[in-house]
Amino acid sequence: MNTKAIRYNISSKEKYKRVIAAVHMVYRLVNSTFSTKELLIRLTRIICQLVGASSSCVHVLDDKGKHLKLIAVFNGKINILYERKADLAKATKDERSVVQGATIVRDRFIGLPLVSEENIGAIFMRRRPTQKPFEDFDREVLTVLAEEVVIAVRNLQLQELQQKVILDSIKSMGKFFANQGVQEFCQHAPAYYKIVQCLAEKMGMNEKDTEALEYASILHDAGSIDVPYHILSKQGRLTPAEFREIRRHPEKSVELIRPVSFLKPVLPIILYHHERYDGKGYPSGLRGEEIPLGARVMAVVDAAEAMLTRRPYKREISASRMTQEIRRQSGAQFDPKVVEAFCGLCDQTKFRKYLSIIGT
């Protein structure tokens, strides 16, 4: 919708058409957005267009309603999302009143609460002093849209909560097995996930692929819970049959996770995280870029972690020796581009710190 087309003193028929168009626009937004953060940030921009505001802001409260959890802002040019717990007491008086349920319409400012069974946040609109003040019609349009937004935010929050519960359950299973002495297969140090994130960013992976990689980092060895315990915990040399059993863990992880529909993009990373760049890996012997990028990234981080960690049957090695070893396997076990990115990161203090934490 063209903001310049918004006029005042428009006919009832025209108003009706505007409301329908606005509802349709937000409906499309809601149905094409799969995370609360993305929804809020896109919403601020669309709402500005719909009511001809110069800036807009959406606040979302935390579960207890005491703090602001997310704040999305559009100032006419830039979209920003603040994702940190902010004290509601520090918000302006108007912001506080609106978040707590009041509607404020004042010249060039509108504040509308987002109310479900309880207050979940608020939408704020502003116009410049050179623009006309808001009219009742603008508030009416925004009220209709706010109702749509409340439902969308609640649905996404519930969905995200459900996803968190599922991931936490799988993490707990990992913890349980780690406590049983099969740590290397079921649980990683928190620094492991930081290393994965840094490497994904360095490789230029987009937000969606990075998220899939992060889930895969948590879940890729989950299938080892289905590998007989005496094999996982064996400290001596494994027999060929035992090796075959262990090598089935990527497929077992996939079978375990397949019923969880939101984890579908994660499955190829999990299935192929033991493939090698030269085609000598398992389970399918994929080579080069046939292997999903996420799996190539994870292969390097997994190997680094294994080398840096002391186990009852092996000693750890230093970070510099680990880096040499990763380099030595460039083009053989690992993707040379991932190796280059990983070794580049090893020059950064923050990254070296994560590596040192893994090794403790």
CB nearer Fe ion, residue 48 or residue 227: 227
The reply on whether position 275 binds Fe ion by CB under 5 A is no
Separation of alpha carbons 301 and 331, rounded Å: 16
CB nearer Fe ion, residue 8 or residue 176: 176
Q: Could you tell me the smallest distance in angstroms from the CB atom of residue 250 to Fe ion?
A: 6
Q: Could you tell me the smallest distance in angstroms from the CB atom of residue 104 to Fe ion?
A: 55
Q: Which stretch binds Fe ion (CB under 5 A): 8-16, 101-109, 132-140, 214-222?
A: 214-222
Q: Could you tell me the smallest distance in angstroms from the CB atom of residue 264 to Fe ion?
A: 20
Q: Is 355 in contact with 189 (CB distance < 8 Å)?
A: no
Number of residues located near Fe ion, criterion CB under 5 A: 1
Q: Is 122 in contact with 97 (CB distance < 8 Å)?
A: no
CB nearer Fe ion, residue 141 or residue 196: 196
CB nearer Fe ion, residue 202 or residue 273: 273
Separation of alpha carbons 55 and 127, rounded Å: 7
Q: Could you tell me the smallest distance in angstroms from the CB atom of residue 230 to Fe ion?
A: 19
Q: Cβ of 60: how many Cβ atoms within 10 Å?
A: 20
71: tokens are: 């704040």
Q: Is the dihedral of CA 25, 28, 30, 35 positive or negative?
A: negative
Q: Could you tell me the smallest distance in angstroms from the CB atom of residue 332 to Fe ion?
A: 18
Chain residues 218-257 in contact with Fe ion, contact rule CB under 5 A? 221
In sequence order, the β-bridge partners of residue 55 are 126
In sequence order, the β-bridge partners of residue 66 are none
Separation of alpha carbons 114 and 102, rounded Å: 10
CB nearer Fe ion, residue 55 or residue 284: 284
Please write down the HEC assignment for all residues of 45-79. HHHHHHHCCCEEEEEEECCCCCEEEEEEEECCCCE
CB nearer Fe ion, residue 248 or residue 327: 248
CB nearer Fe ion, residue 16 or residue 229: 229
Separation of alpha carbons 14 and 11, rounded Å: 5
Q: Could you tell me the smallest distance in angstroms from the CB atom of residue 273 to Fe ion?
A: 6
Chain residue whose CB lies nearest Fe ion: 221
Q: Could you tell me the smallest distance in angstroms from the CB atom of residue 216 to Fe ion?
A: 10
Separation of alpha carbons 37 and 208, rounded Å: 13
In sequence order, the β-bridge partners of residue 82 are 71
Q: Kindly list the residues in this chain that would bind Fe ion in the complex (CB under 5 A).
A: 221
